[in-house]
């Protein structure tokens, strides 16, 4: 580690871009520690884990069997995640030194960072050197530092943001999520100490200026997305949460630091009876996810940091109040006495085990088992359109019940079709007339869904209406009686004139029709073998509607179905079954 410390101290400022990329395809070119891309984000918004690069770091001989504390930075893009992570790197490299902030004119190096409005980090990067830290009790643990892609940039979907947030939380032992005043509703500067089976031991949720309701709502969304994945692998919820409120502007109400933060947070997360149910549910959810919740208030780092495009991290340009509280915050999170590896069922997670959990968790988010999180606008628009679909279907069903419902008489098919078309158009007009969010293009698929569902319901109304037609109900037995009569007459005539082959064929069809009629009657009486009964009705309907010779496939279909239901024949005529068994025994003799 001393060798890497010397190399690192010799780096220039980040303005010289003296930070290198290193992947699984190459060795570290000069032995220096550097950020390594282990989680890649593709253009189609899918994630790919570079297992080779991750294995190179976590399976190094000196760390692979060490208990691990993973520290990650995640949150909104361009909010200082990498900036904060590099102060953590400086602390880890100068852990033995009392003045870990170092020279006031030393540029801040490590993970690539810069000012501006465009994102810098993508996916998840891991520092290639795993730090070995001696605990006060003599244990030596491995500390791993991770930097993550910012959420809510112009190229990321909400699912991307939720996945990065949840995945980094589940993997990390300590997670830091930075935010600034201009950040989107979800602003995060979080830190969590977690193990992998019980992923979050404590998390610092960094928020700019104040804890607003939208911060809590997005925290609720992202933790629930992580908890869904954990439930898939039988994991428990998170344990502890630390709100880190950056750029705190009201120290006269609540002073900087942990003590003022706890008083402030107690007020923010208080549940009262006069609160709306939605606000109460958000707070209850957060309390249900974390067993311990605390808060730390941080001042603004100063205008030079916020407005100077050439700022390179020199602490001489950072406001004194910020530095004083930074000296408290970082050791509070990373000092050997404070970091710990969580025990799960009596066992601790090692670097080797962390690699396996990385693989397991990324598979969860690569699949389609988890629901896709939606923006509040999309979720509201969907609910709005679904409500309009339900109202239109309800109108259609009510009016069709008046036309051909259970207590209404049989209606001529042509009249039923005409009434259906009229009521269907009325239901579609109701849907179109409802004011809906999302725009016309968004609502089009719900209109198509409504049309499809109405047509499906109409098919059921047709069947229900046909069942009221007494002639329709008697069509099957009438058809079979006609077949029996015709075959009986034909067999008699052909037998009389001496055409025995045709007479035998007619007798066979007559017997088959008679068995079919008895079978149909048994099915109607007992309610058994309904599938066979439906096929008999279909064949009889085909014979009724068209001449027999134009639909020979109808008899062929009946024959196939009857062959597949031979047990029904034996059930109806057990005597024949006994005779057939006796004949089989005689043949064997």
SS (H, E, C) 257-278: EHHHHHHHHHHHCCCCCCCCHH
Check residue 371 and give its pLDDT: 55
How many CA atoms within 13 Å lie on the side-chain side of 349? 30
CB 107 within 8 A of CB 24: no
Decide if pLDDT at 533 tops 50: yes
CA distance 4 to 55: 20
- For 252-279, write each residue's pLDDT tens digit: 999 998 888 888 888 888 888 888 888 8
DSSP string, 286-332: HHHH-SEEEEEE-----HHHHH-TT----GGGS-HHHHHHHHHHHHH
Closest CA to 39 of 359, 354, 356: 359
| CATH number of this structure's domain 2-366 | 3.40.50.300
Q: Which pLDDT belongs to residue 495?
A: 82
Q: CA angle 295-300-302, nearest 5°?
A: 160
* Predicted confidence (pLDDT) at residue 25 exceeds the cutoff of 50: no
pLDDT in tens, 303-318: 887 777 777 778 888 8
Which pLDDT belongs to residue 247?
A: 83
- Please give the Cα distance from 505 to 589 (Å, whole number): 32
For residues 483 and 477, give the distance between their C-alpha atoms in angstroms, rounded to a whole number. 10
Q: Residues 160-198: pLDDT tens digits? A: 666 666 666 666 555 454 434 333 333 333 333 333 323
Return the number of other C-beta atoms located less than 10 Å from residue 137's C-beta.
Answer: 8
What global pTM score does this model have?
0.57
In the DSSP assignment, the letter for residue 67 is B
Task: Give the whole-angstrom CA distance, residue 373 versus residue 381.
Answer: 14
Report how far residue 304's alpha carbon sits from residue 322's, in angstroms, rounded to the nearest whole number: 12
Burial of 164 (C-beta count, 10 Å sphere; 0-12/13-18/19+): buried
pLDDT at 425 over 90: yes
HEC string of 219-239 equals HHHHHHHHHHHHHHCCCCCCC
Instruction: Round to whole Å and give the CA distance between 400 and 416.
Output: 9
User: What is the rounded CA–CA span in Å between residue 576 and residue 571?
Assistant: 10
Contact 35, 111 (CB under 8 A): yes
Between 485 and 526, residue with greater pLDDT: 485
pLDDT of res. 3: 41
Q: Any idea what the Cα angle at residue 522 is, between residues 520 and 523, rounded to 5°?
A: 65
pLDDT value of residue 181: 36
Location of structure tokens 């008999």: 536
For residues 429 and 465, the model is more confident at 429
- Full DSSP string of 104-119: TTPPP-SS----SSS-
Helix, strand, coil percentages (3-state) for the chain, rounded to 5, are 55, 10, 35
- pLDDT over 90 (residue 485): no
Q: With cut-offs at 50, 70 and 90, classify the pLDDT of residue 100.
A: confident
Q: Of the ranges 209-218, 232-241, 383-392, which one carries the lowest mean pLDDT score?
A: 232-241
Q: Could you tell me whether strands 343-344 and 174-177 are parallel, antiparallel, or unpaired per DSSP bridges? A: unpaired
| SS3 state of residue 194 | coil
Q: What is the pLDDT of residues 32-83, one digit of tens each?
A: 788 888 887 777 767 788 889 889 999 998 998 888 888 776 555 445 567 7
CATH of 376-471, one of 1.10.3720.10, 3.30.70.1060, 1.10.4160.10, 1.20.58.420: 1.20.58.420
| Weakest mean pLDDT among 185-194, 212-221, 380-389, 435-444 | 185-194
Instruction: Identify the band that residue 241 occupies on the pLDDT scale cut at 50, 70 and 90.
Output: confident
Mean pLDDT computed over every residue of the chain:
72
CA 501 to chain centre: 69
Cβ proximity of 78 and 117 under 8 Å: yes
Q: How far apart are CA 343 and CA 308, in angstroms?
A: 45
Whole-number pLDDT of residue 426: 94
Residue 322 has pLDDT above 80, yes or no: yes
Statement: residue 452 has pLDDT above 60: yes
With beta carbons less than 8 A apart as the criterion, state whether 251 and 260 touch: yes
Q: What is the pLDDT of residue 398?
A: 92
Residue 28 has pLDDT above 70, yes or no: no
Higher pLDDT, 20 or 466: 466
The predicted model gives 121-130 an average pLDDT of 78
Q: What DSSP character marks residue 209? A: S
First CA to last CA across the chain, in angstroms? Answer: 92
Residue predicted with more confidence, 237 or 301: 301
Positive/negative CA dihedral, 352, 355, 357, 359: negative
Rounded distance between C-alpha atoms, residue 342 and residue 137, angstroms: 15
How high is the pLDDT of residue 197? 29
Give domain limits for the chain. Answer: 2-366, 376-471, 474-588
- The H or E element containing residue 208 is strand 202-208
């Amino acid at each position: 580690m001393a060798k890497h410390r010397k190399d690192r101290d010799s780096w220039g400022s980040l303005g010289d871009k003296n930070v290198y990329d290193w992947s699984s395809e190459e060795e570290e070119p000069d032995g220096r520690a550097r950020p390594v891309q282990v989680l890649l984000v593709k253009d189609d918004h899918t994630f790919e884990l570079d297992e080779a690069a991750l294995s190179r770091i976590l399976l190094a001989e000196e760390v692979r069997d060490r208990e691990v504390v993973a520290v990650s930075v995640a949150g909104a893009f361009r909010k200082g995640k990498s900036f904060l992570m590099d102060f953590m790197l400086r602390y880890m490299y100068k852990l033995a030194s009392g003045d870990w902030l170092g020279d006031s004119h030393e540029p801040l190096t490590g993970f690539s960072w810069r000012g501006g409005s465009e994102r810098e980090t993508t996916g998840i990067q891991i520092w290639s050197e795993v730090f070995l830290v001696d605990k006060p009790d003599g244990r030596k643990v491995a500390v791993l530092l991770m930097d993550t892609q910012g959420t809510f940039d112009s190229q990321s979907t909400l699912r991307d943001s939720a996945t990065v947030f949840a995945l980094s939380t589940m993997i990390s032992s300590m997670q830091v999520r930075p935010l600034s005043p201009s950040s989107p509703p979800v602003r995060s500067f979080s830190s969590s100490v977690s193990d992998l089976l019980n992923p979050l031991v404590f998390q610092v949720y960094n928020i700019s200026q104040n804890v607003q309701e939208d911060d809590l709502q997005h925290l609720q969304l992202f933790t629930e997305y992580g908890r869904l994945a954990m439930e898939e692998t039988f994991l428990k919820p998170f344990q502890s949460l630390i709100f880190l409120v950056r750029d705190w502007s009201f120290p006269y109400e609540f002073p900087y630091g942990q003590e003022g933060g706890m008083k402030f947070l107690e007020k923010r997360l208080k549940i009262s009876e006069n609160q709306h149910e939605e606000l109460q549910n958000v707070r209850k959810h957060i309390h249900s996810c974390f067993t311990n919740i605390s808060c730390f208030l941080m001042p603004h780092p100063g205008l030079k940091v916020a407005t100077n495009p050439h700022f390179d991290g020199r602490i001489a340009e950072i406001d004194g109040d910020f530095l004083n509280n930074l000296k408290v915050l970082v050791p509070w999170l990373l000092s050997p006495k404070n970091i710990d590896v969580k025990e799960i069922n009596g066992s601790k997670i090692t670097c080797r085990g962390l690699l396996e959990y990385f693989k397991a968790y990324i598979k969860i988010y690569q699949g389609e088992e988890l629901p896709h999180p939606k923006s509040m606008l999309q979720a509201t628009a969907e609910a709005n359109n679904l409500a309009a679909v339900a109202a239109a279907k309800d109108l259609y069903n009510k009016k069709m019940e008046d036309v051909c419902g259970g207590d209404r008489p049989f209606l001529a098919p042509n009249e039923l079709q005409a009434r259906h078309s009229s009521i269907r158009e009325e239901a579609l007009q109701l849907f179109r007339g409802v004011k809906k969010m999302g725009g016309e293009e968004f609502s089009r698929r719900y209109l198509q869904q409504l049309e499809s569902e109405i047509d499906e319901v109409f098919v059921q109304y047709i069947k229900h209406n046909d069942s009221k037609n007494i002639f329709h109900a008697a069509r099957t037995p009438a058809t079979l009686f006609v077949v029996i009569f015709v075959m009986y007459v034909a067999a008699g005539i052909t037998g009389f004139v001496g055409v025995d082959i045709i007479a035998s064929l007619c007798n066979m069809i007559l017997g088959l029709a008679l068995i079919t009629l008895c079978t149909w009657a048994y099915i109607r009486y007992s309610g058994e073998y309904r599938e066979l009964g439906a096929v008999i009705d279909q064949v009889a309907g085909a014979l009724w509607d068209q001449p027999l010779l134009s639909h020979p496939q109808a008899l062929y279909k009946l024959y196939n179905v009857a062959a597949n239901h031979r047990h029904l024949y034996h059930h109806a005529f057990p005597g024949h079954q006994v005779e057939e068994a006796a004949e089989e025994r005689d043949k064997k003799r």
